[in-house]
Amino acid sequence: MTVEPDTTARALWNSPPIEGRQALAVRFTDVVTALSEADDRAVTRTGAVLKHIETADVPPSVPTARIAVLGTSTLGPLHAPLLGALAARGIAARAEFGDFDRLIAELFDPSTPALAHDPTAVVLLPDGEAVFRRVAVPFTAASAASAVESFVNDLISAIRAFRARSAAPVVVPTLLLSPERSSLLLDLPSRAQLAAAWNRANLRLLELGEEIPGVIPVDMNQLAAHAAGPARDPRLAAYAQAQFTEPVLLGYARQTAAAVAALLGRTCKCLVLDLDGTMWGGVLADDGPLGVVSGEGRVGEAFAEVHDVARQLSSQGVVLAVASKNDDEAARAALTEHPGVRLNVADFAVIAANWDPKPGNVAGIAETLNIGLDSLVFLDDNPSERGAVRAALPQVRTIAANADDPSLSAPALLRDGVFTSLRITDEDRLRPQMYRAETERASFRQSVGAVEDYLAGLETEVTIAAAGEQDVVRLSQLTLRTNQYNLTTARLDPDAVRSVLRRPQSIVKTVRCHDKFGDHGLVGALFAQIDGDRLEIMHFAMSCRVLGRGVEAAALRAVLDEGADRGARDAVGSFVRSAKNGRAADFFRQSDFMPDGADTTDQIGTRTTFVRSLSTLPEPPQHLTVTIMKEKP
């Protein structure tokens, strides 16, 4: 089922009036909800409308981004797909464009207008024709190979120069070689020689992310190979200097949007699967656990592809859950006994198989796992069920599975890259196991009476250590992904984390947690610095998995203690209220900090500063076993 964007957006597709643009901005979240199942045309057309809105007019809860786009050809055709793809990820964006064929020069130039004011990301759009503008006609395979090598060398030098002065990440696509250019070489060995040189140049671009921090490579050849049409239209190229068709640009826009979403902490964490029509064919209540269709025959294999995709995602940290209108016993029997079902009960952190409304079950999954609703992706073949979830829980992303043609379900799930991460860490790979342990903790909580007995019974051990290079990626990830317990919602990429670590007055702590049900891994990142006789708490982000145990208070106490040892007489910290971090509003108060000025912790977008003396320290939580390691590992 295709869901068109919000009717407000449809009505404004053609030259929206000023008041209409503002109305659309105010209702931006409605557009986001509709775009989760919109087709390609609707995404691009909605992006065309969104060019007219001001990001200042969207609700405070909506994340915003400013994207700089530089290229070697006409860049306008990327505008609508880019804004539409970002909106589909819940991000309201403005795009600033560089001049025609000034990509390399603008990266070198600090005064480039499009790069002013610290863009959220810089998106590059080089094209293969820019290479051939460096080649005299007639050309040979050798001269073209030399040109592509020279172009890529210059591009890399420009990217390096830009990154040396800016923290903005750079999205870098590979170069497309048009068939028409290859065909101008009449002998097959020369075509092969050119293709080999082109591939070597693209390989350098693909490996650039390991060489220059903050570079995000994208394989444009892969996008072109799977686009719904040719990558290049010679008419657009000749008359408009537009070197890419809309399907390729939309694919690139989606890859870019996935990267920007990861930068802004909008990576989804949990895949909630329906069963009948999604995981298998048939109806479990009618066909029985062994009668549903999965794993055998062409249709069965197509259903099983969803299982394989889910398993692959799970191996990289995506938590799996079930929300199905079925009897629990029958659902578990099918997962356990059916030979063609490639997921079993142990693969799921939560199985909500009952006859209750699905919105309640989906919300219950988020509550059990202690994650935000916007971390969930719900895959279901029933449009009524998806509609009910969207209506009750608009933060949850719904994706249409296809019971009639299950081969389309996996591509729909993967289309927008909702689980895309900048890096995968060991904690990511262990996350499904960690969240499965949450159900055991929930059962334990129900078996004891007082909260104090529960906290003591968990036997929680906390290790607080000075951060080292080996922790950089995970610390960055905590600032990027954590929304609920993030004091400032500042997003630090690995390079920014390293920058803080290098400062002689910095104090950067890792927080690890373990209890009798399992290891939580590295769950907290605390950044502080000594400034004269004052300790400044700059950033603190902690996984919601361990909230409510006093782990955050133990981490803060350790830093206050070290600050006092290093000569600080008082401590100061700030809380910046976002739409999602209300749970952290009392972080400083709970450790006897007092507001320094107005207390605006209940107002989104405001900063409240807190201070306290270090002549005494807060009492440590008695139910925790805390180990403090002051030296870097």
Q: What is the pLDDT of residues 235-262, one digit of tens each?
A: 998 899 999 999 999 999 999 999 999 9
Question: Stretch 183-206: mean pLDDT, rounded?
Answer: 97
**More confident of the two residues 25 and 261:** 261
Q: Which residues pair with 170 in a beta bridge?
A: 122, 215
At 5 the pLDDT is 42
Which whole number is the average pLDDT over 190-215? Answer: 96
Q: Is pLDDT of 8 > 60? A: no
Please check whether the domain covering 270-426 is classified as CATH 3.40.50.1000: yes
2 pLDDT more than 50 = no
Judged by average pLDDT, the poorest of 19-28, 410-419, 479-488 is 19-28
pLDDT attached to residue 126: 98
DSSP line for 118-129: --SEEEEE--HH
Rounded to whole angstroms, the maximal C-alpha distance in the chain is 84
Asked, colleague to colleague, whether 5-264 and 270-426 share their fold, the answer is yes
Instruction: Give yes or no for residue 619 having a pLDDT over 50.
Output: yes
Neighbours of 113 (CB within 10 A): 13
What share of the chain in percent tops pLDDT 90? 78
Round to whole Å and give the CA distance between 543 and 564. Answer: 27
Burial call 137-176: b when 16+ CB within 10 Å, e when fewer: eebebeebbebbbebbebbbebbeebbeebebbbbbbbbb
Q: What is the pLDDT of residues 573-606, one digit of tens each?
A: 999 999 889 999 999 999 999 999 999 999 998 9
| Residue type at 282 in one-letter notation | G
Task: Provide the pLDDT for residue 17.
Answer: 53
pLDDT at 592: 93
Preceding peptide of 138 cis, ω within 30°: yes
Looking at residue 429, what is its pLDDT? 87
228 and 215 in contact (C-beta within 8 Å)?
A: no
d(CA 305, CA 297): 12
Domain spans, the chain: 5-264, 270-426, 455-629
* Cβ atoms of 500 and 510 closer than 8 Å: no
d(CA 205, CA 158): 13
d(CA 254, CA 206) in angstroms, rounded, equals 18
pLDDT digits (tens, 9 = 90+) for 530-574: 999 999 999 999 998 888 899 999 999 999 999 999 999 999 999
493 neighbors 550 (Cβ within 8 angstroms): no
- For residue 572, the surrounding DSSP H or E stretch is strand 570-576
Residue 20's pLDDT band (boundaries 50, 70, 90)? low
What's residue 409's pLDDT? 98
CA distance 574 to 579: 16
220 and 173 in contact (C-beta within 8 Å)? yes
- Quick one: CA torsion of 182, 185, 186, 188, rounded to 10 degrees? -70
Q: What is the CA radius of gyration of the chain?
A: 26
pLDDT, residue 442, reads 81
Distance CA 409, CA 280 (A): 11
What six digits make up the tokens of 386?
């998806």
**If you search the block for the tokens 């048009």, which residue do you land on?**
178
Answer yes or no: are the C-beta atoms of 398 and 37 closer than 8 Å.
Answer: yes
Distance CA 112, CA 504 (A): 34
- The whole-number average pLDDT for the span 394-417 is 96
Query: What is the average pLDDT score of the chain?
Result: 92
Give the residue-averaged pLDDT of 43-72.
Answer: 93
- Residue 4 pLDDT class (50, 70, 90 cuts): very low
Angstrom CA distances, 342 to 283, 287, 325, 347, stand at: 18, 18, 20, 10
Task: Identify the band that residue 16 occupies on the pLDDT scale cut at 50, 70 and 90.
Answer: low
**pLDDT of 445 strictly over 90:** no
Q: Look at residue 180 and give its three-state secondary structure.
A: helix
For 35, 82, 108, 556, the CA distances from 398, given in Å and listed in that order, are 10, 21, 42, 38
Q: Residue 42 above 80 pLDDT? A: yes
Question: What is the structure's pLDDT at 439?
Answer: 79
Identify which of 377, 287, 295, 271 has the alpha carbon closest to the alpha carbon of residue 333.
287
Tens digit of each residue's pLDDT (9 = 90 or more) over 336-349: 999 999 999 999 99
At 69 the three-state DSSP class reads strand
**How is residue 503 written in tokens?**
């400062």
The residue ranking higher by pLDDT, 124 or 20, is 124
Which of 195, 309, 182, 178 shows the shortest CA–CA distance to 248?
A: 178
Task: Give the CATH superfamily of 455-629.
Answer: Gcn5-related N-acetyltransferase (GNAT) (3.40.630.30)
Residue 376: pLDDT band (50, 70, 90) is: very high
Residues 6+ apart with CB under 8 A from 259: 121, 169, 171, 216, 420, 422
For the chain, report the end-to-end CA distance as a whole number of angstroms. 53
* Angle, helix 451-458 to helix 426-447, in steps of 10 degrees: 140
CB 257 within 8 A of CB 416: yes
Tokens matching residue 164:
């040396």
Query: ∠243-248-253 over CA atoms, to 5°?
Result: 110
- Evaluate whether 82 touches 69 at the Cβ level (below 8 Å): yes
- In angstroms, rounded to a whole number, what is the distance separating the alpha carbons of residues 512 and 259? 27
Higher-confidence residue of 53 and 18: namely 53
Binned at pLDDT 50, 70 and 90, residue 524 comes out as very high
- What is the third-level CATH fold of 5-264? Rossmann fold (3.40.50)
Residue 435's pLDDT is 82
pLDDT, average across residues 96-118: 95
| Residue 396 DSSP code | S
Q: What is the pLDDT of residue 172?
A: 98
State the residue for tokens 């199905």: 324
Q: Which stretches of 226-319 are DSSP H helices?
A: 234-240, 246-263, 284-287, 297-314
